């Protein structure tokens, strides 16, 4: 299965990473182009997988100069849960307002938006995100600009997708309504790779 969790053996040492970083970064950026789904003008899903998480971990180890086993294990524990398990998609959900004041105002109007993001396979029911399983990122007054989401698909949905069913996604919130139907084929194809 291609979505197994990362282990220390999968990571480059700091020295190796310094050598391969430019090339690895290019591969990751190319890969990520097919994994960003804009939801209207001010929100996006960045679908995570083993490669995006390895890059995240390698960059953290590099910046923090972490080379001891305990520190490396801490990073693996933090990021491994964001790798899909074969029946789901995991994504970083970003609410993107460049202007600070507008962002603050909108985050207050978008309380609970993270629970209103969905994907939909063909005519199946919408699958709403399970948000922020790692920690609470919102309260009654405002939501956060960043959330971690999990979309849990049924075996029937996975089979339908593999058989060519269409995929839609959107946000169904009183202050932010958007539906992307269908999701672009390059993104759909990339996401199929998470469902093994």
What tens-digit pLDDT sequence spans the chain (196 residues)?
446 899 999 999 999 999 999 999 999 999 999 999 999 999 999 999 999 999 999 999 999 999 899 999 999 999 999 999 999 999 999 999 989 999 999 999 999 999 999 999 999 999 999 998 866 666 778 888 899 999 999 999 999 999 999 999 999 999 999 999 999 999 999 999 999 7
Distance, in Å, from the CA atom of 127 to the CA atom of 168, rounded to the nearest integer, reads 10
Which pLDDT tens digit goes with each residue over 152-175?
999 999 999 999 999 999 999 999
* 130 bridge partner residues: 150
Please tell me the pTM assigned to this model.
0.91
Say which residue the tokens 């109007």 belong to.
Answer: 109
Question: Do 66 and 60 touch, CB atoms closer than 8 A?
Answer: yes
Question: Do 55 and 190 touch, CB atoms closer than 8 A?
Answer: no
Question: Do 66 and 75 touch, CB atoms closer than 8 A?
Answer: yes
Q: How many CB atoms lie within 10 A of CB 20?
A: 12
Question: Do 117 and 45 touch, CB atoms closer than 8 A?
Answer: yes
* 180 bridge partner residues: 169
């Amino acid at each position: 299965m291609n979505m197994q969790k990362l282990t220390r053996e999968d990571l480059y040492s700091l020295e190796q990473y310094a050598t391969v970083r430019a090339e690895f970064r290019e591969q990751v950026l190319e890969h990520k182009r097919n994994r960003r789904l804009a939801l209207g003008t001010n929100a996006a899903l960045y679908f995570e997988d083993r490669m995006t998480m390895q890059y995240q971990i390698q960059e953290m180890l590099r910046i923090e100069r972490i080379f001891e086993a305990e520190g490396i294990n801490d990073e693996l524990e933090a990021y491994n849960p964001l790798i899909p398990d074969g029946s789901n998609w995991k994504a970083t959900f970003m609410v993107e307002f460049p202007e600070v004041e507008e962002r603050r105002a909108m985050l207050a109007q978008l309380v609970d938006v993270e629970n209103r993001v969905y994907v939909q396979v063909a005519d199946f029911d919408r699958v709403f995100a399970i948000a922020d399983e790692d920690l609470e990122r919102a309260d009654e007054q405002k939501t956060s600009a960043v959330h971690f989401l999990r979309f849990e698909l049924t075996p029937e949905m996975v089979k339908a997708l593999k058989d060519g069913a269409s995929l839609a996604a959107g946000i169904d919130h009183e202050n932010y309504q958007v539906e992307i139907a269908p999701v672009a084929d390059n993104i759909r194809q990339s996401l199929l790779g998470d469902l093994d």
